[in-house]
A = this chain, B = another copy of it.
Amino acid sequence: MPDLPFLPFCVLLGGLGLLCVAFVGAWCQHWRGGFSLDGSARTFNWHPVLMVTGMVVLYGAAALIYRLPPARRGPKLPWKVVHGALALAAFILAVLGLAAVFRFHNAHGTPNMYSLHSWLGLVTVLLFSCQWVAGFSAFLLPWAPNWLRAFYKPIHVFFGATVLMLSVASCVSGINEKLFFSLKNGTTEYKLLPAEAVFANTLGLLIILFGVLVLGALARPSWKRPDTDSPESHQPLLTAER
């Protein structure tokens, strides 16, 4: 199989990620009334924007950080910090995104956590938070023994990919659900496929494409950082040694 150059792929993927954020922002701004913090439907609009930006785009960037050519050689520690920081930023956006939907529901007396979308979304964010804490504890704190790191690394990698898949599935079910809500009693029903429906369905497909490309990049053997056993590659964050 011919070896793809990583950087053009990375530029394409970055463009696709920005397109996802632009699409979800434009959907909420143009068709759903924009943004506010007053508990109205405009508060809800933060939910899709923050979840797509955090749990898909920033998360994808965090997952791929070790595939950047400068990260494939030399000290691993700075890239670990960037990886953890991007994942933390993704997590913070996700929590804010959850706060937006809870605030909207509570302001309208709508029950929380009843749909399959909400169950899946919460499972995804909870799994991600466990993943972040476990990753930080094992790979950045100094007291985790090397055998634990070696044991946990494939689990961390596997659940990293799993959380991305669950995020994408959550986004798809959420967009689908929102369109059924929004277009049910609007000027044009979803089933008549108005421009908003085409636009938001396209957003869903773009998110899926982004997720599949990230998973494909993660799976490419030639883009992986060589798994050296040098002490440096096990360098924790909080240690005096360097």
Q: Which A residues lie at the B interface, using CB under 8 A?
A: 1, 110-111, 114-117, 119-120, 123, 150-151, 154-155, 158, 161-162, 165-166, 168-169, 172-173, 175-177, 179-181, 190-193, 197, 200-201, 204-205, 208, 212, 215-216, 219
Contact = CB atoms under 8 A, between A and B. Distances in A.
Contacts of A193: 111, 114
Q: Which are the 10 A-B pairs with shortest beta-carbon distances?
A: A169-B169, A116-B204, A116-B176, A173-B173, A114-B193, A116-B201, A173-B176, A111-B191, A114-B191, A172-B173
A119 B176 CA distance: 11
Secondary structure call for the A interface? helix
Contacts of A166: 208
B208 A155 contact: no
B119 A219 contact: no
Q: Which of A162, A168, A192, A208 has the most CB of B within 10 A?
A: A208
A119 B205 contact: yes
A32 to B, nearest CB: 16
Contacts of A151: 1
B1 A119 contact: no
